[in-house]
Amino acid sequence: MTTPVVQVASLVKRFGDFAAVDDVSFDIERGEIFGILGPNGSGKTTTIRMLCGLMSPTSGTATVAGADIARDPDRVKSRIGYMSQSFGLYRDLTVDENLEFYAGVYELGARKTERIAWGKREMRLEEIGPRLAGVLSGGQRQRLALACAMMHAPEVVFLDEPTAGVDPAARRLFWTIIRERAADGVTMIVTTHYMDEAERFDRLVFLSRGRRMALGTPAEVKAQFGSHLSLEDIFVQLQEKES
């Protein structure tokens, strides 16, 4: 067994008295498509933000791509790609300008042209280069954001609800792209609150009110809670039990 590319041990994040992430642990292997599932407010975004070095944990430890998130957040940032839950690119810049900006920010130097071409090809953006990011459809926006997040060929990519509010065809295309990237060996960590997407993950963790309720492959989670139920049913039950 190789060392996991992400190791999370007893991670806690409190905002005042309120624990948004409460003692969560899991490991992620290289090249996995790993899901962080849970209803609204269950702590998915907070977990991801800590793993990306954007927030420091109240307690617990985690390493991402060999860097400690609390001690060395800058190293973490240079090794990962991150796509925030709300669209984080510049709506007043075109697709090409956004790509160029991130290529510059990631210091691609001579590889710049090649990486931008790669991004546009792989994320199916070739036709819309001169368009302003603000006028793109939901699916196009998310693909552009992924292209920017992966501009520097990171080994780990975090996607926070990339398929929220995107129509089914665009969602399917996005999942195709996620699988292609994982096939390249990139670890893809994806949050969602669409329970019907659960089957798409290699492994997943289910959070509710900041706590880990289940962890494993979809089949393992099913076996744990009764295989006659769908994952969706299991999650709804877990959630109801919690409240």
Partner 1 sequence: MNRERLHAMVRKEFVQMFRDPATLRLVLLVPLMQMLIFGYAIRTDVRNLPTVAFDQSRTQESRELVQRLTATGNFVLRSHAESYEDAIHEVDAGRARAAFVIPESYARDLKRGRPAAVQVLVDASDPSSSASAIGAAQMVGQQLNVEIVQRRTGTDMASRLPVDVRVRPLYNPSLRSAVFVVPGIIGMILSNILILLTAMSLVRERETGTLEQLIVTPLARSEIMLGKIAPYVLVGYVQMTTVLIAGHLIFAVPMRGPLLALYAVTFLFITANLGMGLFISTLGRTQAAVTQSAIFILLPNVLLSGFMFPREAMPPLAQAMGALLPLTYYLQIVRGILLKGVGMAELWPQALALAFFAVAFFTFSTQRFHKTLE
Ligand X SMILES: Nc1ncnc2c1ncn2[C@@H]1O[C@H](COP(=O)(O)OP(=O)(O)OP(=O)(O)O)[C@@H](O)[C@H]1O
Closest CA to 83 of 205, 197, 196, 188: 188
Contact string (CB under 8 A) for partner 1, positions 164-193, x = contact: ------------------------------
92 binds, among ligand X, partner 1, Mg ion, none (CB under 5 to 8 A by kind): partner 1
Torsion of CA 42, 44, 46, 49, to 10 degrees: 180
Closer residue to partner 1 (CB): 101 or 225: 101
Closest CA to 4 of 201, 176, 203: 203
Least distance to ligand X, CB of residue 86, Å: 9
Closer residue to partner 1 (CB): 55 or 198: 55
Q: Which stretch binds partner 1 (CB under 8 A): 1-9, 49-57, 115-123, 228-236?
A: 49-57
Q: Which of 26, 34, 106, 174 binds partner 1 (CB under 8 A)?
A: 106
Least distance to partner 1, CB of residue 46, Å: 10
Q: Count H helices and E strands in the chain, helices first.
A: 8, 10
| Binding footprint of partner 1, residue count (CB under 8 A) | 34
For residues 118 and 111, give the distance between their C-alpha atoms in angstroms, rounded to a whole number.
10
CB distance 32 to 202 below 8 Å = yes
**Using rule CB under 5 A, residue 163 touches Mg ion:** no
Least distance to ligand X, CB of residue 189, Å: 13
Binding site for ligand X (CB under 6 A): 15, 20, 38, 40-46, 85, 193
Closer residue to partner 1 (CB): 42 or 98: 98
**Using rule CB under 8 A, residue 16 touches partner 1:** no
Least distance to partner 1, CB of residue 210, Å: 17
Contacting residues for 241 by C-beta, under 8 A, at least 6 apart: none
Closest CA to 120 of 151, 90, 92: 151
Tokens encoding 101: 């900006």
Closer residue to partner 1 (CB): 73 or 216: 73
CB distance 237 to 223 below 8 Å = no
- Could you count the other beta carbons within 10 Å of the beta carbon of residue 161? 21
CB distance 130 to 96 below 8 Å = yes
What is the binding site for partner 1 (CB under 8 A)?
A: 49, 52-56, 73-74, 77-78, 80, 82-84, 86-93, 97, 100-107, 109, 145, 148
